[in-house]
């Protein structure tokens, strides 16, 4: 197995109520990533992406635009070495 990169992301802007979570799940699965996405109480969206470094980099770049209707103002990316990603890619409840 190759190198795995895991990151946590916080996406801010108009990202709830615009199908951001479903879009993220579809894009992450298409890239073979593991992890999750969920809404946060402060109106942002949180995600975790784990997989090949190239796929993770592509996903974090995509998050800066998001689905139609989203207006992303900030994406905070943090490298994670302290947690293991779950199997698959799921939408979690906030």
pLDDT tens-digit map of 39-56: 999 999 999 999 999 999
- Catalytic-role residue among 29, 31, 39, 71: 39
Q: What is the CATH number of the domain that holds 70?
A: 3.30.70.100
pLDDT at 90: 96
- Catalytic-role residue among 5, 12, 14, 21: 21
pLDDT at 82: 85
Q: Is residue 64 part of a domain?
A: yes
Q: Is residue 13 part of a domain?
A: yes
Catalytic residue flag (residue 78): no
pLDDT at 48: 97
Contact 64, 75 (CB under 8 A): yes
pLDDT band at 68 (very low <50, low <70, confident <90, very high): very high
Catalytic residue flag (residue 34): no
- Domain of residue 16, residue span: 5-75
pLDDT at 32: 97
For the chain, strand residue ranges (E) read 5-14, 34-39, 45-51, 71-79, 89-91
pLDDT at 6: 96
pLDDT at 2: 80
- Coil, strand, or helix at residue 52? coil
Q: Is residue 41 part of a domain?
A: yes
Of the two residues 56 and 83, the one the predictor is more confident about is 56
Q: Is residue 70 part of a domain?
A: yes
């Amino acid at each position: 197995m190759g190198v795995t990169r895991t990151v946590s992301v916080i996406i801010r802007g108009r990202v709830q109520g615009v199908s951001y979570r479903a879009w993220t799940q579809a894009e992450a699965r298409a890239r073979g990533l593991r992890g999750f996405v969920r809404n946060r109480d402060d109106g942002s969206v949180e995600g975790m992406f784990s997989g090949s470094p190239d796929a993770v980099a592509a996903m974090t770049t995509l998050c800066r635009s998001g689905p139609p209707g989203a207006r992303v103002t900030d994406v905070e990316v943090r490298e994670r070495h302290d947690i293991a990603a779950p199997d698959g890619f799921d939408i979690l409840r906030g």
